[in-house]
Each structure stands twice: as structure tokens, then as C-alpha cells.
């Protein structure tokens, strides 16, 4: 009996079966079924690592024609075009694929199995986990650096405003002194109309003091909002740093990236301790400012009452 074509050495027989193409961050499989007339049907599967370690899994049906050794597969929207052509050898299918940049790549699918595809897919997924874990650590370290710099800037700016507290108190005393001076004039003024006008001037001093209150509050409320925000950020970052190296390694992070992240953690923990002390000090100074403001307000109100009685 004459041998069939599929059994002759060096002759390509039926190509039904599984074929796998793989590289570090991508694995693809063609599962092909060939009919007697050379018509093909099958499924294309792909698992790839995308930006940031995101895993993309694709499974698409295809049809095709095999005219030894030429092969043409017809997809729907895969690869940005419908038809993909290539060459079949004894144990491989090599397709010409146009990638996302428009460059033609040769994908050589070796005869294999779905089990081997799944093994490679596991490697790709672990690679994606490493990329994602490393990217997360790099982002976190960048955030730590920003928080540390922001905390340092906040402390510098806040201490500058602390140095201005005596000037705030002096300005309140200046306003009160002017009001007291007007009241002294009011006491020795005989004309009632003139005394009323002087009383109005005292009230205007109180208005000036209230406007200064607003300016002081705007500055110090802004300081404290910024401090509270940084306290929350540094507290969150410090909590992140309590995660063990073992837990992070289990997510796939590389030793080098983990070491760099841990170094950033040590910096943020040190910055947090320093900030906590500085924030407490600034909060206490804010309390002093509020006390100065409250005392100045009471004093002005008392002066306004005196002036109104002397009208």
C-alpha cells in the first residue's frame, strides 16, 4: 500500500494540533483543525504583559486555508487586520504579524500542546506580577519623596510664620493703643457731636482689628490645613512601610526594587518622626495666636463699650 502524504519523510502532512509561540512577556497558541480540503478552523489564544504589569488574555476564533506550504488565517479584528499569512514547516507555523507600531514580526509557532501553553502562560503572569509589583513600589517611593519634600517645605514656611507672631501681637497692641488714645480725647471733649464722632473712630478701630483677625486666620488656618494633610499622608505612608519584605516578595517584586523601596521607607519613617514633633510645636504656636486674637478682641470690645458710653 502506498504511504499517505502525511507519513512521507520531509513532507508536510495534516497540520491539525496545537502550536505555541513564546517570549518573556508574551505567549500565544494556535489550535488548528484541518479539513480534507485544506480548509482550517481553530482558536488563537494569547497571554501578554501590558503596561504597568497588566495581564491581557485574548482568545479569538479563526478560519483559514492551507495550500502547502502557504497558510493564510482569517481573523476578525485581531492584529488590526483580517488576514495573516505565513509558511508551514514540518513542526512549525511561522506567521508574519504586524505589531502595534506597524512593524512586521515573524512569530514562529512550534508544534506543542495546550498544557505547555498553560505553563508558559503561568511564567508570563508571574512576569506581569513582577512588573506590577515593581511599578507599585516605584510609585510609592516617589510619593514618599514628594511627601518628605512637602513636609520639609511646610516646616520651613510654618517656622517663618512663627517668627512673625510677635509682630501680630504688636499690631493688635497698636490698634488698641490708637483706640485708647481716641477715648482719652473723647473724655476731655465737651461737645457731644465731637464725642460721637470720636466714638465712631473707636468703632472703626475695632473694624480694623476684625479685618486683621481675618488676615491672621487665613494664614494660620492655611498652615494648619496643610499640616493636617501632611500628617495624614505621612501616617498613611508610614503604615504602608509596616508591610513585611516577605509579603512584598510574595507579590513578585524584585530584590533590587524592594531594597530601594525599603530605603525610601526608612526615610519616610524618619521624616514622619521629625514632622510629628514639628507639627505639635506649630499647633501649639497656633493656639498662642488664637489666644492673642481672642484677648485682642475682648480688649477692643471693652474699648468700644467705653467709647459708646462717652458719646
Query: Domain of 208: which CATH number?
Result: 1.20.1050
- In the prediction, which pLDDT does 99 show? 78
In a domain, 15, yes or no: yes
Does this model's pTM top 0.85? no
For 29-87, how does the pLDDT look when each residue is reduced to its tens digit (9 = 90+)? 999 999 988 899 999 999 999 998 999 999 999 999 999 899 999 987 665 557 899 99
Q: Are residues 99 and 211 in the same domain?
A: no
Predicted local confidence at residue 83, as pLDDT: 86
Angle at the Cα of 118 from the Cα atoms of 117 and 122, rounded to 5 degrees: 120
Instruction: Tell which of 55, 86, 112 closes a domain.
Output: 112
- Tally Cβ neighbours within 10 Å of residue 163: 10
> Does 170 lie in the same domain as 297?
yes
pLDDT at 12: 65
In the chain the first and final C-alpha atoms are separated, in Å, by: 134
Q: Is residue 121 part of a domain?
A: no
Q: Is residue 283 part of a domain?
A: yes
Contacts 24+ apart (CB under 8 A), 68-75: 68/12, 69/12, 71/15, 71/40, 71/95, 73/30, 73/40, 73/42, 73/44, 75/44
SS3 of 76, please?
Answer: coil
100 and 233, same domain (yes or no):
no
In whole angstroms, what is the distance from residue 142 CA to residue 290 CA?
A: 37
What's the confidence (pLDDT) of residue 79?
Answer: 58
Kindly state whether residues 198 and 143 are assigned to the same domain: yes
Q: Are residues 78 and 145 in the same domain?
A: no
**Half-sphere exposure (Cβ direction) of 169: Cα atoms closer than 13 Å:** 13
Residue 141: inside a domain: yes
Position 80 scores a pLDDT of 57
CATH number at residue 55: 2.40.128.50
On whether the CB atoms of residues 56 and 74 are closer than 8 A, the answer is no
249 plus 281 within the same structural domain: yes
Taking the chain (311 residues) in runs of 10, the rounded mean pLDDT of each run is 39 85 95 93 95 92 93 78 86 89 91 97 94 95 97 98 98 97 95 95 97 97 98 96 94 95 97 97 98 97 96 86
State how far the Cα of 133 lies from the Cα of 258, in Å rounded to an integer: 9
- Whether residue 120 is contained in a domain is answered as no
In a domain, 122, yes or no: no
In this structure, what are the phi and psi dihedrals at residue 85, rounded to the nearest 5 degrees?
-110, 160
Cβ–Cβ < 8 Å for 182, 200: no
Domain match, 105 and 147 both: no
For residue 117, tell me if it sits in a domain: no
Which of 86, 112, 138 is at the close of a domain? 112
Same domain, yes or no: 190 and 65: no
pLDDT at 8: 42
pLDDT in the model for residue 73: 94
Full domain range(s) for residue 178: 130-309
32 inside domain: yes
Amino acid at each position: 500500500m502506498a504511504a499517505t502524504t502525511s507519513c512521507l519523510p520531509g513532507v508536510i502532512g495534516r497540520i491539525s494540533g496545537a502550536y505555541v509561540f513564546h517570549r518573556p512577556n508574551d505567549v500565544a497558541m494556535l489550535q488548528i483543525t484541518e479539513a480534507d480540503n485544506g480548509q482550517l478552523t481553530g482558536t488563537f489564544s494569547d497571554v501578554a504583559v501590558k503596561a504597568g504589569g497588566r495581564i491581557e488574555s485574548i482568545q479569538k476564533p479563526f478560519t483559514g486555508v492551507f495550500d502547502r506550504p502557504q497558510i493564510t488565517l482569517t481573523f476578525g479584528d485581531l492584529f488590526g487586520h483580517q488576514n495573516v499569512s505565513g509558511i508551514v514547516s514540518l513542526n512549525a507555523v511561522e506567521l508574519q504579524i504586524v505589531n502595534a507600531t506597524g512593524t512586521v514580526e515573524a512569530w514562529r509557532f512550534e508544534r506543542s500542546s495546550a498544557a505547555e501553553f498553560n505553563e508558559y502562560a503561568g511564567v508570563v503572569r508571574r512576569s506581569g506580577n513582577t512588573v506590577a509589583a515593581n511599578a507599585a513600589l516605584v510609585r510609592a517611593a516617589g510619593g514618599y519623596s514628594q511627601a518628605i519634600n512637602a513636609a520639609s517645605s511646610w516646616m520651613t514656611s510654618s517656622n517663618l510664620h512663627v517668627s512673625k507672631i510677635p509682630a501680630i501681637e504688636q499690631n493688635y497692641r497698636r490698634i488698641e493703643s490708637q483706640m485708647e488714645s481716641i477715648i482719652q480725647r473723647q473724655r476731655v471733649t465737651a461737645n457731644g457731636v465731637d464725642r460721637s464722632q470720636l466714638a465712631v473712630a473707636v468703632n472703626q478701630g475695632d473694624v480694623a482689628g476684625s479685618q486683621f483677625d481675618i488676615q491672621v486666620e487665613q494664614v494660620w488656618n492655611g498652615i494648619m490645613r496643610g499640616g493636617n494633610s501632611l500628617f495624614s499622608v505621612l501616617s498613611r505612608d508610614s503604615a504602608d512601610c509596616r508591610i513585611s519584605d516577605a509579603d512584598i516578595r510574595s507579590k513578585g517584586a524584585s530584590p533590587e526594587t524592594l531594597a530601594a523601596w525599603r530605603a525610601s521607607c526608612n526615610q519616610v519613617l524618619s521624616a514622619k518622626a521629625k514632622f510629628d514633633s514639628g507639627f505639635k510645636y506649630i499647633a501649639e504656636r497656633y493656639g498662642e495666636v488664637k489666644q492673642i486674637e481672642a484677648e485682642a478682641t475682648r480688649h477692643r470690645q471693652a474699648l468700644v463699650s467705653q467709647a459708646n458710653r462717652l458719646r
